[in-house]
Amino acid sequence: TMDCVLPWLQSDHRQPFLLVGPEGSGKTMLLRHCFAKLRATNVATVHCSANITPQHVIQKLSQVCLTVSSSNGRIFAPKECDRLILYFKDLNLAKPDMYGTSMIIAFLQQVLTYQGFYDQQNEWVGLRDIQIVGSMTAGTGLGRHALSTRFTSIIRVFSVTEPDKESMEIIYSSYLYSVLKETVPGHPV
């Protein structure tokens, strides 16, 4: 999986992508490991919920980006690094409206298609050196919703399968090691 995902993060033409798999398959740990291998890159995580709106994403961008004025309007560019990864965790938790449209998915579709968005004052805001990455649990149960096919047609989707017992031991050992390392600093784990 890393052999496929890492080039999408490192190449000159960085691709937006979505990692899909069963719960507990190590999607987040895999992405954290890949993110740690990148240089001059910050990661801003957006934890999705049923009530997430584009305003939450714009607020996160304003926290982690500089606003640069240009002849075409404002541009969000990463602060203190060369590029920014905007990571959406549990992207399919966003609840669609009565017409089946999820505002956050429609917003991300616009961002990916046009490299920017219109703010509340109807002014164009461009994005520079920002890559969109997401993860989600497969299926539509437990408050999860299907993503629009218009969105999934413009983003790479990589499916992670249920790991075997040996892989699960490695995943949970790595996770517990990092958790215990943070909770007991200076103490060998």
pLDDT at 70 over 90: no
Tell me the C-alpha to C-alpha distance, in Å, between residue 30 and each of 91, 140, 154, 171: 17, 22, 23, 9
- Here the tokens at position 100 are 């089946």
pLDDT band at 187 (very low <50, low <70, confident <90, very high): low
pLDDT band at 24 (very low <50, low <70, confident <90, very high): confident
Mean of pLDDT values over 4-21? 87
Mean of pLDDT values over 63-87? 92
pLDDT at 179 over 90: no
pLDDT at 109 over 90: yes
**pTM summary value:** 0.84
Contacts of 81 (CB under 8 A, 6+ apart): 40, 41, 42
Amino acid at 12: D
Mean of pLDDT values over 123-145? 89
In the sheet that 130-137 helps form, which strands lie side by side, from edge to edge? 41-47, 83-89, 130-137, 17-21, 156-159
